[in-house]
A and B are shown apart, each in its own frame.
Chain A
Amino acid sequence: MTPRALTKGNIALAEGAIQAGCLYYFGYPITPQNDIPEYLARNLPKRGGIFIPAESEIASINMVMGAAASGKRAMTSSSGPGISLMQEAMSYMAGSDIPCVVVNIMRVGPGLGGIEPTQGDYNQAVHGGGHGDYKNIVLAPASVQEMFDLTIKAFELADKYRNPAMVVADAMIGQFQEPCRLTPAEPILIPEKPWALTGRQGRKPQLLKSLYLAPGEQEAHNLRMKAKYDEIQEHEVMLETRELDDAEIMIVAFGTPSRVAKSALTQAREMGIRAGLLRPITLFPFPEKEIREYSSKIRKVLVVEMNTGQMVRDVRINSHPEAEISFYGRPGGGIPYPDDIIREIKKALKKS
């Protein structure tokens, strides 16, 4: 058994980034993700990396853009308010085919909000918080181990598709500790980046831009990007399913609510209620096919989120037309308990 160490979510994420070969981090303080820049401030210099405490989240994400355009793996992390400031540059990077990883350890909002956990930034991450037709690749850890593994995966997907990738986790997952294997599941391979801007020495000059003015140019570019997103949708979906084969009701939840759902479905089964779980690990690409297939068999679906209903819309869109979708949401720092979920299951199944 590979050794595991009791590790905090944010720390596991930061260590995962370093092991993924991310040697460039630029960030700005904001609770609840401060462990990430602090860990990287201590460790990047020792590992041949560069850490800059930037003057703003806008500067941070644009420094990432500069380093990533140089062909380096680069990352920044923040929480809601800071992620909002980064949207423009993320749209630029999507439009310029520049890979990067942006981490959102979600805090309640809108506005200043607070520092409690939430999933209120789902739409911003999944449906593109910035302008224009683009998507972020979005990974949603539900454990400290996944904070480590999915950060590595985020760099892999970002480079593979030359697109921003996000890791989004609520403040709880960032802040609590769990045993964690701090070595990668598979060897990490950083791809060659011939497209990088390294000076035209020995080749033609190269350009990374998102400005397209000539008639039809932007349309062609958008359609090229769409084809890329369709390919991601086709090949990169990640999810976890639990006890769906005989389920009479399917819970759909990611992050912390999915952990609570696991407890709830165990207790429900003890009560003779056959509940199962579908946990999206990638929020884009969303597990559309699986949601459709399972919801056509299991006609009852309960979506549980820590917001007022955001992923539920994607579940509705992709579910079987006759599936009954019910929703249970705890916004603003509210955390669902197993009893809450069991109550909602009974309501959905019209059982007392």
Chain B
Amino acid sequence: MAYIIIDKERCKGCYFCIEFCPKNIIVISKEHNKLGYFPAEFPMEDEDKCTGCKTCASMCPDMAIEVYK
């Protein structure tokens, strides 16, 4: 269906994407990035649930998300 790529190093862990994803797919990564934030993460196995609605990317203040459909 669709998927997103989250730039691990750009994400500052505000989790807006997690908050607003209508399918509640996005999760918090277990590993922190170079800046020490625990970035948001898109579990690829949920690719079928993602509709590519771009809400996550629209709410990301750091342009860390690309959406593919």
Classify A-B as touching or not with yes or no (CB < 8 A).
no
Residues of B within 8 A of A (CB): none
The residues of A with any CB-CB pair to B shorter than 8 Å are none
